[in-house]
Amino acid sequence: MKVAIVVPYSWSFWGGVVDHAEQQLLALRKLGVDAWLVMGNDPPGSFTHVLHPGVGRHAEPPPYVLPVGRSVIVPANGSLPNLVLSPTTPLRIKRIFERERFDLIHVHEPMAPAISVAAIALWRGPTVATFHASGELGWMKFCRYTWGNFLASRIDRRIAVSEQARASADRWLPGEYVVVPNGVLVPPEADPSNREDRIVFIGRHEARKGMHVLLRAWPEVHRRTGARLRLVGADPLAVRLVLTREHVPDEGIDVLGVLTDDELTDELLSAKALVASSLGGESFGMVLTRGLACAVPVVASDIPGYRAVLEGDVGLLVPPGDHRALADAVVELLADEPQRQRRGAAARVLAQERYAWNGIAGRLLEVYEEAAA
Mean pLDDT by 10 residues, the chain (373 residues): 96 88 97 97 68 69 95 72 88 98 97 93 97 77 70 95 93 94 94 97 88 96 98 90 93 92 96 96 90 98 94 95 98 98 98 96 97 94
Per-residue pLDDT at 262: 93
Per-residue pLDDT at 55: 62
Residue-wise DSSP of 112-171: STTHHHHHHHH--S-EEEEE---S--THHHHHIIIIIHHHHTT-SEEEESSHHHHHHHHH
In this prediction the pTM is 0.88
Per-residue pLDDT at 172: 87
Closest CA relative to residue 193, chosen from 290, 294, 312, 286: 294
The three-state DSSP-derived secondary structure of 171-234 is HHCCCCEEECCCCECCCCCCCCCCCCCEEEEECCCCHHHCHHHHHHHHHHHHHHHCCEEEEECC
> Please, how many CA atoms are within 13 Å of residue 298, restricted to the half-sphere of its CB?
33
Per-residue pLDDT at 260: 87
Domains, the chain, ranges and CATH?
2-183+356-372 (3.40.50.2000), 198-354 (3.40.50.2000)
